[in-house]
Amino acid sequence: MTTNKGLALVERDESGVDLAFRANVLDGLRASPKAIPARWLYDDAGSQLFEDITKVPEYYPTRAETEILKTRSGEFAALVGPGRAVVEFGSGSSVKTPLLLSAIEPASYVPLDIAGDFLRAAAADLAEKFPGLPVHPVEADFMRRVELPGEVADQPKLGFFPGSTIGNMVARTAVDLLRSMRETLGTGARLLIGMDLIKDEEVLVAAYDDAGGVTAEFNYNLVRRINRELEGDIPLDKLRHDARWNDDYARVEMHLVAQETLAFTVSGEAFGMEKGETIHTENSHKFNRRTSNMLLLAGGWEPVERWTDEQGRFSMILAEARPPRSAP
């Protein structure tokens, strides 16, 4: 297990409060419109709720992407070849990662994650499924360039970033991440990335507002976390989950909508909301062939091949970090 030395991944005050969490929440509640970065949705309870979301009938992305990995793995194995170090951005899913690894005869597997506990558990699970495959987990923030373990230095790299997690980011942040990935993996590396596709608004909104209310619970969990960890008294029963399609930015947005005028405190600071005012909690950008190509190119990655599921709902793109060139 490699840890990026000298780097405190989570800074806390004397009473154990995550300082970045508090700063982000207070800044987000002071702002207009109110918005809190989506990463804070994913504490232990939130990560479990997201797992539950992947099983609700309306949330198609996980099933669609798994279908692509199952049915098209022979094709990308042929393009990528054996002997690569597979570098996964995020701890890995127990379903998708084995599908990729069993398709391509990798030389090693390097999961990167900021959450050490998840990382260790996922790495141990994977090592058990693939005896003989060297597994080198690295605890790091992959939004920055990551120093890869020396053992994989001479192996050609394949980055793996499934789940349309890139869709959580606004374009500027997504490009920063793609460029960091390029620096982490080096010129000549390949990247297999999942991107969810633009489709009928009703289908998209339903995927983020399932009839069983699991996604609503996922959104409400952020309020519970704020109230618990930051001594908040936000009246959760006066906020309603809302998923809305923003057509200009091609994204589904999750909001918490005030059902009446509200007053509350968080970490001793007073806040108010008008009836109908919202706290924006997550973006999930959707792509088409052109916008996904544009985003990848802006981040230094040239698309090589793309696959979709049978129903054309979700795409996986294979891209390559070619040397920069300015000529047409």
List residues binding ligand AVJ (CB under 6 A).
50, 53, 61, 163-165, 167-168, 208, 215, 218, 282, 284
Q: How far is the CB of 207 from ligand AVJ (least distance, A)?
A: 7
Residues 6+ away with beta carbon under 8 Å from 293:
303
User: Which residue reads 């996986």 in tokens?
Assistant: 316
User: Which residue reads 């108010």 in tokens?
Assistant: 272
> 306 is written with which tokens?
């793309």
Q: How far is the CB of 8 from ligand AVJ (least distance, A)?
A: 26
Q: For ligand AVJ, give the closer residue by CB, 69 or 152.
A: 69
Q: How far is the CB of 257 from ligand AVJ (least distance, A)?
A: 16
CA 144 to CA 313: how far, in whole Å? 30
Q: For ligand AVJ, give the closer residue by CB, 62 or 184.
A: 62
Q: For ligand AVJ, give the closer residue by CB, 128 or 200.
A: 200
Q: For ligand AVJ, give the closer residue by CB, 148 or 206.
A: 206
Q: For ligand AVJ, give the closer residue by CB, 217 or 320.
A: 217
Q: For ligand AVJ, give the closer residue by CB, 167 or 299.
A: 167
> 326 is written with which tokens?
């300015």
Q: How far is the CB of 217 from ligand AVJ (least distance, A)?
A: 11
Q: Are 66 and 316 in contact (CB under 8 A)?
A: no
Q: For ligand AVJ, give the closer residue by CB, 58 or 320.
A: 58
Q: Are 224 and 236 in contact (CB under 8 A)?
A: yes
Residue nearest to ligand AVJ (CB): 284
Q: How far is the CB of 105 from ligand AVJ (least distance, A)?
A: 28
- The neighbour count for residue 227, using CB atoms within 10 Å, is 16
Pairing of strands 278-285, 34-35: parallel
Q: How far is the CB of 252 from ligand AVJ (least distance, A)?
A: 7
Please enumerate, as own/partner, the contacts of 141-144 that have beta carbons within 8 Å and a separation of 24 or more: 141/4, 141/7, 141/9, 141/114, 142/89, 142/90, 142/112, 142/113, 142/114, 142/177, 142/180, 142/181, 142/184, 143/173, 143/176, 143/177, 143/180, 144/180
CA 60 to CA 63: how far, in whole Å? 6
Q: How far is the CB of 171 from ligand AVJ (least distance, A)?
A: 15
Query: Helix and strand tally (H, E) in the chain?
Result: 9, 14
Q: For ligand AVJ, give the closer residue by CB, 111 or 163.
A: 163
Q: How far is the CB of 3 from ligand AVJ (least distance, A)?
A: 25
